[in-house]
Amino acid sequence: MSGIDRHAWSRMRLSEIWSGGQTGADRAALDAALEAGVPARGWIPRGRIAEDGIVPARYMQLTETESADDAERTERNVRDTDATLILHDGPPGGGTQLTHELALALGRPVLALDLGVLPIGDAARLALDWCRGLPGPIRLNVAGPRASTAPAIYPLARAVVTTLLRELATADASHHTVEES
């Protein structure tokens, strides 16, 4: 997918992708955003700690929290965004479940999709319809399990986020073209 002008994203329904930098679903969302030219942000634990060592330098736009506690990172990403999309493969647990609970507690819209059950196209359509129902521009937190607990999550989540971004960009670009005419 070719990138979109970074400045154009500020005028579109989805303005940023946020994620916590962990392996698995988090990095899938960040990689899809970076490939599409969508601003990618988020909170990561102090020391840039992840299960595979240090969060890679290509994610320099992520901000370290004051502690190395994953729960603090998770809460800040939910709190500082407009909505949370949870992409998981099988029953959510650990930090994925915490993300869902925090979104509900903080009154943030949340959509959880089990990519072990839903085909990519169906999951992307559900996410797209959900995003279209939210007031924009949206700072979207994307979360889900780490690679060690869900080995198949990275390619599944990346495909969903890539499709979502492409569809939102296409719809928003055609909407702006009509408005500007």
CATH at 73: 3.40.50.450
Instruction: Report the 10 Å Cβ neighbour count for 8.
Output: 14
Q: Give residue 176's pLDDT band: very low, low, confident or very high (50, 70, 90).
A: very low
Lowest mean pLDDT among 20-24, 96-100, 176-180: 176-180
pTM: 0.89
Residues 6+ apart with CB under 8 A from 171: 13, 132
- Other CB atoms within 10 Å distance of the CB of residue 179: 8
Domain count, the chain: 1
pLDDT at 2 over 90: no
Residue 7, token pair as written in the block: 């400045």
Give percent of the chain with pLDDT exceeding 70. 87
Instruction: Read off the pLDDT of residues 8-27 as tens digits, 9 standing for 90 and up.
Output: 443 457 899 999 999 999 99
Residues, the chain: 181
Count of Cβ atoms closer than 10 Å to residue 84 Cβ: 24
- In this structure, is residue 152 part of a structural domain? yes
Query: How much is the average pLDDT of 53-75?
Result: 96
Task: Give the mean pLDDT of 43-47.
Answer: 97
Flag whether 1 is in a domain.
no
Farthest CA pair distance, the chain? 51
Is residue 82 in a domain?
yes
Residue 110 belongs to some domain of the structure: yes
Domain range for residue 23?
Answer: 6-180
Q: Quick one: three-class SS letters along 107-131?
A: CCCEEEEECCCCCHHHHHHHHHHHH
